[in-house]
Amino acid sequence: MSTRPLRIAYLSLQAVANGQDTWAAVTEVIKGWEADGWIVDCYFPEYPESGAPGRLGRLAEMWRVQRRLAAQVREYDAIYVRAHQMALPSARRAGALGVPVVQECNGPYEDLFIAYPQLRPARPIFDAMQRWQYRHASAIVAVAEGLTGWLKREAGHQRVYTIGNGANTGVFTPEAPRRPGLPERFAVFFGQFPAWQGISTLLEAAKLPAWPSGLPLVFVGDGAMRPDVEAAVVEMPGRVLYLGKLPYDEVAQVVAHAVVSFVPMMAPKRETLFSPLKLYESMACGVPVVASNVVGISEVVSEWQCGILFPAGDACAIAEATARIVGDPLEAREMGHRGREAAVARFSWRARAAQRARVIENALQAR
């Protein structure tokens, strides 16, 4: 292979906006590649600060981004795609020109229809669009072990590699400055608010007698469950607080000062498909976690003993685990310390970027 720096096009048709999980998962990997001397050009949709337009407006922006990439695709050594059904034109064009395409899969086909249930009647078409991309990919990165076997079956080849998400251990650190106005002690949930994040169960737990007295539950983020969170703020004043969506580095200023952080995923159809950023970012902050006992989460928490696992969807178990952490500061401190060590040693974005880089390099060598 040439010794010149590799030039990569990174295509994400999902918006990459500060304050969302996608921001970290995309920009941190790119920073890692650039630190190694690679040249990375970003092809992302651009929407106004007021939010993405309607369906036709989003489609038009996706088409604009891909037309720009199509005009320059020959200039790249490889295309790295954050898997999206509508990226099919770019994948086909790159394949026709012999440019390797590496797909990163962050979830099953079902995720599209959870977010946009009105698209379900056209599911066979959308599934086929994504399946073609997987089958013709030079390699696929699966962010969770549970996705890997499914992807090998869907793609019909073995070029699938499990590389999870991670944390920026320089931003998410126990030394992060404290955001003004926070309660003296609090628990935190942060990230996106889809239904399968377990927010309903967490809110139920906060109402129970077992929930530690005087421990507010702070939410940071946005999404479909936002109305439920805002309703809980009114229903449980002082017990539930909502800070809204914060910029990336400001999230760390909240998390690093929490007593406990929650990772309560509970979607049966996604139980083996998790690699949550909030898990690794909480660990990097040295904060113990209370997390669902599901594949993709449980093995990390168990191996590093950085928190307490509970049966997904069990509000009583969440409240009891939270009380245990609050009631034993020494154990909580040791959990947090082990989590921080693990994040630095194994789960930094720098390490995750290097793993993805090797997949791209292998794809180029195979070509």
Range 63-66 contact pairs with CB under 8 angstroms and sequence separation of 24 or more: 65/11, 65/13, 66/11, 66/13, 66/90
Cα–Cα distance for residue pair 74/23, rounded to 1 Å: 27
CA 326 to chain centroid, in Å, comes to 27
**Strand 260-263 vs strand 289-292: parallel, antiparallel, or unpaired?**
parallel
Contacts of 281 (CB under 8 A, 6+ apart): 24, 167, 168, 172, 190, 251, 252, 255
Which residue from 10, 277, 33 is spatially nearest to 169, judged by alpha carbons? 277
pTM of the model: 0.84
The position carrying tokens 């990226």 is 87
Q: Up-side HSE of residue 34: CA atoms within 13 Å toward CB?
A: 12
Which residues of the chain have a pLDDT value below 70?
1-2, 50-52, 267-273
Q: Quick one: 360 exposed, middle or buried, by C-beta within 10 A (0-12, 13-18, 19+)?
A: buried
The CATH classification of domain 187-346, taken from the options 3.40.50.300, 3.40.1210.10, 3.30.200.20, 3.40.50.2000:
3.40.50.2000
CA Rg value for the chain? 21
Q: Which helix (H) or strand (E) holds 216?
A: none
Domain boundaries, the chain: 7-166+348-366, 187-346
Is there a shared CATH topology between the 7-166+348-366 domain and the 187-346 domain? yes
The position carrying tokens 């990336």 is 248
| Residues 42-72: tens digit of each pLDDT | 999 998 876 667 889 999 999 999 999 999 9
**Helices in 168-296 by DSSP H: which ranges?**
199-207, 226-235, 248-255, 277-284
Contacts of 120 (CB under 8 A, 6+ apart): 113
DSSP state of 268: G
The position carrying tokens 């952490």 is 325
Are residues 279 and 263 in contact, defined by beta-carbon separation less than 8 angstroms? yes
Structure tokens given for 339: 């989590």
Q: Is 43 left (phi over 0), alpha (psi -120 to 50) or beta?
A: beta
Looking at residue 268, what is its pLDDT? 52
Tell me the CATH architecture of domain 7-166+348-366: 3-Layer(aba) Sandwich (3.40)
Cα–Cα distance for residue pair 30/69, rounded to 1 Å: 17
Query: In what side-by-side order are the strands of the sheet with 289-292?
Result: 240-242, 217-222, 187-192, 260-263, 289-292, 307-310
Cα–Cα distance for residue pair 272/201, rounded to 1 Å: 19
